[in-house]
Structure 1
Amino acid sequence: MRRRTFVLTGAAVASAAFSDVGFAQQVSPGIDVASKTVTVGAFTPITGPVPFYAILTHAAESCFRWSNETNALNGWKIKYVTYDDGYEPSRSVAVTRRLVEEDKIFALAAPIGTAQTGAVIPYIKEVGVPMIGPIGGSSALFAERLSFPLLPDYGWSAASNLDYALNGLKLSRVALLWENDELGRSAKRGFELYLSGAKKQAIESIPFEVRNTDFTPHIRRLANAKADVVILFGSNANLAAALKSADRLGFEAKWMAQFFTADPTTRKLAGPLLDGVYFSSWLMPVTSNDAPIKSYRESIARYYPNDPVGVFGLNGWSNGMLFVKSFQMLLASGKPLTRTSLIEVMETMKNADIGGARGVSFSSDDHRGARQEGIIQADADGGFKLVQGFRPYPAQVFDAKLA
């Protein structure tokens, strides 16, 4: 198991914005008041089927470096410890246990994977460790008080894609290709719920395995069903492989996918086959001149110059920023630096700008973070353009009871 530790040094100048009075009265593991250090950790797939997902961890780490170097936490610094889990849920649980029991983390911060973050919930409930910014789209993440997801449920995103396909593109023969794990099942739930409310049916709904590299049988089924739009929920590699299979078999349809595949990583895998593909996205465009987006671009260029600048990295940065903002709130509250206090202050967050996300809110009975998406499209110039502005998620899916 590969371990990576980043001890991120912060600026020495203190600000009067926060007070340290009373912090030493009660603290949780992971808090070192003497050195003003908070230790957080994450599991990340350095090996396995999606090693490029480590870009997410690079971006989160860059956010923490930015936080400390700009003195965003009043002299407090973040120590970030990560281990490789190979994108295997059972290993994610083992990594989390090691982070808690050996590294004494205060919280999980920006751990990666839908099935992976879902798998650790029983353990974090047992030990009371918050999970801030889990990079996954499972309904289970919103139902657990210790979990504060910034990402939307993939079912909401699937509904946004479907709404655009039916009402924006005026297409009707809709099919879903879904990864056979919690990521894909979440998308499938939202997809089916939206169709039920619209009194429509999918012409195909086909599962695939995360390691799948040949979509020939799937594409043949889609062609036989005469699908005119295919919504795929899976990894960047899955989307690229499906597009290649469709091209090889001469199958033509509109393609749609979720936000994190609208990235240079997918472009590198799919090449010009990505042109024209649509994506739902809860993040601001990565080319925005907003200060948080500029900070992301500048930090990645500084710390990981070989990583592509795109929505994939902005996702990791934004989930890292969720911890930075929440710890700012904890410091400002004057409450003891405990995990319980962190949860309490996060549940007062209202309409906050968090990295590339806007209008993020949490409460004691609602842990849904992002609440709206736009539709972007890959263009022939290698970029991505906004083709539909940000809109609230379809209410019949967003307001449905969580699974």
Structure 2
Amino acid sequence: MRKWLVNSLIMIICLVLAACGGTNSSTTSTKNAKEKSSVKNSQGVTDDEILIGGWVPQSGPAAQWGILAEVYQSYFNKVNADGGVNGRKLKYIAIDDEYQPSKTVAAAKKLVEQEKVFAILGTTGTAHNKAVKPYLTQKGIPVVAVASGDSAFVKPAVKNYFALQTNYDIEARIFSTYANKELKAKSVGIFYQNDDYGIVYRDAAVEELNKLGIKVAAQESYNPTDVDFSAQALSMKKASPDVVFLFASPKPAASFLKEFDKIGGSAERMLTYTSADSTMIDLAGADVMEGVLSTTWVKSLKDKDNPLIKEYVDQISKDIPKQDPNSVFMRSAWAYAQVLVEGLKRSGDNLTWENFIKQMETLKDWDGSLAYNVTYTSDYRYGQTSVKISQFKGGELVDISDVIKYEP
């Protein structure tokens, strides 16, 4: 009797196991893998899609930077047409903060809490980024290619922040060295935006100029909403510096240069890369911009043998045909997006914020973007610190030096 009972139980167990085995094992395995992946991944990730968001001023005094959003979308179009990132398509959500820090805070919270994006890309504005930094740091969401060169985002390193464009402090020191060695300047005037963006530049330049023994002849500031710069231009002309540094956003920089030119200002002019773009020709005029010096931190379109350049020009010409692909703003935005996507690729199917950050830290002298040799480590978040000196000539901005790398 006992033996019969044991045999019966064995038979029942076998039948149950056989019934379970009737399900396609491959389908079950795939389903389990997807469920496992879904559990691992952070917000903004599905089996088919990755949500990326950011704020960009598409109106207001810095509306020229609005083109960044169009370029991000263009790069994502290319990535998606090529099959996406590890089988997932990229969806981009942009919010116009009108270059107002109070609206930036609202935009950031909407992206994280309502849109639930996986990462923030190319966030514009120094004061704006500083306004939301405590919130985004607390949330831990990856912020890639923060569109500000302020040291607050790299020194000390912030775990979820990855800078890319050349640091403002570094550019100001390169300006000062160039004015000293190449322009033989004895005095410099500074025109700057009176907020976190312009003050960082000003302070670094003043410190470096003092070290070099160069006189700071004048410091003229403006507020981001100002539209009349005649007083600053007149004061600068009276100070008669050999060189004028412009640490300003595009419209104010163009307006100042026009005023300075109109009253006969004759100093050499050096304009930060954040404004030195082909759009300045439209804003100030080719005659006014002729000879203005600046820097660029992205590769030149003249390097036509570089497949990265061809890829960029082809896609931009297709998606944004009315814009000049030589725009520094556009090349910068393309580089921002390239770095983000490289981090996503290296993360594979493990798209947690923790793993994405870990994979970003594996980039070492990475040359797969329009930026120069990108590097990140757990305590190094600059991305890259290289520039070329550039100059407006004949209606376009051209590089006039080799790559200059500054070690912070």
Q: TM-score range by the shorter chain?
A: 0.7 to 0.9
Q: How far apart are the structure 1 equivalents of 2:399 and 2:270?
A: 14
Determine whether 1:303 maps to 2:319.
Answer: yes
Q: How far apart are the structure 2 equivalents of 1:230 and 1:303?
A: 37
Q: CA deviation at 1:31?
A: 0.9
The alignment of Structure 1 onto Structure 2 pairs a total of residues equal to 371
Determine whether 1:110 maps to 2:122.
Answer: yes
Alpha carbons 2:186, 2:215 under 8 Å: kept: no
Aligned counterpart, 1:218: 232
Q: Which of the two has higher C-alpha Rg?
A: 2
Q: Partner amino acid for 1:184?
A: G
Q: How far apart are the structure 1 equivalents of 2:109 and 2:312?
A: 30
Determine whether 1:62 maps to 2:86.
Answer: no
Determine whether 1:39 maps to 2:51.
Answer: yes
Aligned counterpart, 1:49: 61
Aligned counterpart, 1:378: 392
Q: How far apart are the structure 1 equivalents of 2:311 and 2:204?
A: 34
Q: How far apart are the structure 2 equivalents of 1:251 and 1:188?
A: 21
Unaligned runs of 5+ in 1: 1-18
Determine whether 1:95 maps to 2:107.
Answer: yes
Deviation string 1:4-34 (CA, Å, 9 cap, x unpaired) is: xxxxxxxxxxxxxxx989634411001102x
Deviation string 1:318-338 (CA, Å, 9 cap, x unpaired) is: 11111111111111xx6x310
Paired residue secondary structure (1:350): coil
Alpha carbons 1:55, 1:312 under 8 Å: kept: yes
Q: Alignment identity in percent? A: 28
Determine whether 1:291 maps to 2:307.
Answer: yes
Runs (4+) of structure 1 exceeding 4 A deviation are 19-22
Please, what TM-score do these two structures have when normalized by structure 2? 0.87
Alpha carbons 2:344, 2:351 under 8 Å: kept: no
Aligned counterpart, 1:5: none
Q: How far apart are the structure 2 equivalents of 1:160 and 1:197?
A: 13
Aligned counterpart, 1:340: 354
Determine whether 1:325 maps to 2:339.
Answer: no
Distance 1:171 1:104, change over 3 A: same
Determine whether 1:209 maps to 2:223.
Answer: yes
More helix by share: 2
Paired residue secondary structure (1:166): helix
Alpha carbons 2:126, 2:196 under 8 Å: kept: yes
Q: For the aligned residues, what is the CA RMSD?
A: 1.8
Alpha carbons 1:372, 1:390 under 8 Å: kept: yes
Aligned counterpart, 1:3: none
Aligned counterpart, 1:236: 250
Picking from 129, 133, 138, the partner of 2:141 is 129
Please, what TM-score do these two structures have when normalized by structure 1? 0.88
Unaligned runs of 5+ in 2: 1-32
Aligned counterpart, 1:388: 401
Q: CA deviation at 1:95?
A: 0.6
Q: How far apart are the structure 2 equivalents of 1:51 and 1:121?
A: 22
Aligned counterpart, 1:191: 205
